[in-house]
């Protein structure tokens, strides 16, 4: 089965809606999932970094995956974020996600402990061995403190359940090199570079701004796949101020929740510590970016 069937193409790194006290909001999750499906998202990442995974307990993560699976039905793939710095904990989360009905797993490079590349390979293989689900690796050295090198990705590509990479490293040449030497599918995990990654052969996106505008990402993917880079550029340009506001000011999850609340998609922009609500100046920048997208061209 090809990667687009395993994971989708227009994926969204979904935020986790919360009540004012910090508990996960099931109505908020349902409303957001409905919005994502209605705007063309065909893959939902639940419990990933943008979903504030470091502050979610194992039980909360499993419950979140169950809720997203139940709401999604067969309209999109559900990819559960299960990676931590602890291999045993990651295996537990992977098995919980499989039991909750997830279609696939997102496995981040172990963070904080800074393992060797041999440790990265052993960690990823152990988690991939723990379930029957397909695995998308997540290479994000800015957060993890260690990268998945090209040689590591090539080695892991030999695992029968590792099929894809969410690349937030931003090294396009390395991505093209690994694409040329393996059957791994690449997904852009850095919204600033969605268009270049697609143009270089990425299968799709795992987008943060897709929480609000998955429909624009769907248009972008269609344009690139159709060979119309001129139209793709026109689709991407109005999103640049939003990408800057969300990804380059306060913090992706906080700014995305603020955007969704501003648009009336979720009722509250609550985040858990150590994340905090954005500053007034950042919120003004976000409001301006959202208003610019809403104005017809």
Question: pLDDT per residue over 239-294, tens digit each?
Answer: 999 999 999 998 999 999 999 999 999 999 999 999 999 999 999 999 999 999 86
Host domain of residue 11? 3-234
pLDDT given at position 197: 98
CATH number, position 59: 3.20.20.70
Q: Is the pLDDT of residue 185 over 70?
A: yes
**Do residues 39 and 280 lie in contact, with contact meaning Cβ atoms separated by under 8 Å?**
no
Q: Average pLDDT, stretch 17-30?
A: 97
Q: What is the pTM of this model?
A: 0.96
Percent of residues, the chain, with pLDDT higher than 70 = 99
Angle at 268 between CA 263 and CA 270, to 5 degrees: 125
pLDDT given at position 209: 98
Please pick, among 85, 111, 166, 197, the residue that the annotation labels catalytic.
Answer: 166
**Do residues 171 and 142 lie in contact, with contact meaning Cβ atoms separated by under 8 Å?**
no
Q: Average pLDDT, stretch 179-205?
A: 98
pLDDT given at position 297: 43
Asked if residue 192 is part of any domain, the answer here is yes
Q: Average pLDDT, stretch 78-89?
A: 97
pLDDT given at position 295: 57
85 catalytic? Reply is no
Asked if residue 252 is part of any domain, the answer here is no
Distance CA 197, CA 296 (A): 27
Q: What is the DSSP letter of 285?
A: H
138 catalytic? Reply is yes
Give the C-alpha distances (Å, rounded to integers) separating 54 from 49, 117, 132, 217: 7, 23, 24, 27
On average, the pLDDT of the chain sits at 96
Asked if residue 34 is part of any domain, the answer here is yes
Q: Is the pLDDT of residue 144 over 60?
A: yes
Q: Please count the structural domains in the chain.
A: 1
Q: Per residue in 210-234, pLDDT tens? A: 999 999 999 999 999 999 999 999 9
Helix (H) or strand (E) holding 17: none
Asked if residue 297 is part of any domain, the answer here is no
Asked if residue 109 is part of any domain, the answer here is yes
Q: Average pLDDT, stretch 71-75?
A: 97
Asked if residue 199 is part of any domain, the answer here is yes
**Do residues 250 and 278 lie in contact, with contact meaning Cβ atoms separated by under 8 Å?**
yes
pLDDT given at position 294: 66
Asked if residue 261 is part of any domain, the answer here is no
Asked if residue 107 is part of any domain, the answer here is yes
């Amino acid at each position: 089965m090809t990667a687009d069937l395993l994971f989708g193409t227009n994926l969204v790194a979904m935020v986790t809606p919360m009540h004012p006290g910090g508990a996960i909001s099931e109505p908020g999750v349902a409303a957001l999932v409905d919005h994502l499906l209605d705007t063309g998202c065909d893959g939902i990442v639940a419990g990933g970094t943008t979903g504030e995974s470091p502050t979610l307990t194992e039980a909360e993560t499993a419950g979140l995956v169950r809720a997203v699976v139940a709401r999604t039905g067969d309209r999109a793939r559900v990819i559960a974020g299960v990676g931590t710095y602890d291999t045993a904990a990651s295996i537990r989360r992977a098995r919980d996600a499989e039991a909750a009905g997830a279609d696939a797993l997102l496995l981040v490079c172990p963070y904080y402990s800074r393992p060797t590349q041999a440790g990265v390979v052993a960690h990823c293989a152990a988690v991939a061995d723990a379930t029957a689900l397909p695995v998308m690796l997540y290479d994000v050295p800015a957060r993890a403190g260690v990268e998945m090198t090209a040689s590591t990705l090539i080695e892991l590509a030999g695992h029968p359940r590792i099929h894809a990479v969410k690349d937030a490293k931003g090294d396009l040449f390395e991505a093209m090199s690994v694409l040329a030497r393996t059957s791994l599918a690449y997904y852009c995990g850095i919204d600033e570079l969605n268009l270049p990654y697609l143009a270089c052969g990425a299968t799709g996106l795992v987008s943060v701004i897709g929480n609000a505008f998955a429909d624009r990402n769907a248009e972008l993917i269609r344009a690139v796949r159709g060979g119309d880079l001129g139209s793709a550029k026109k689709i991407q340009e109005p999103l640049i101020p939003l990408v800057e506001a969300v990804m380059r000011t306060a913090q992706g999850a906080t700014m995305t929740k603020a955007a969704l609340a501003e648009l009336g998609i979720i009722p509250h922009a609550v985040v858990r510590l150590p994340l905090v609500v954005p500053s007034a100046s950042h919120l003004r920048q976000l409001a301006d970016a959202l208003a610019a997208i809403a104005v017809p061209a």
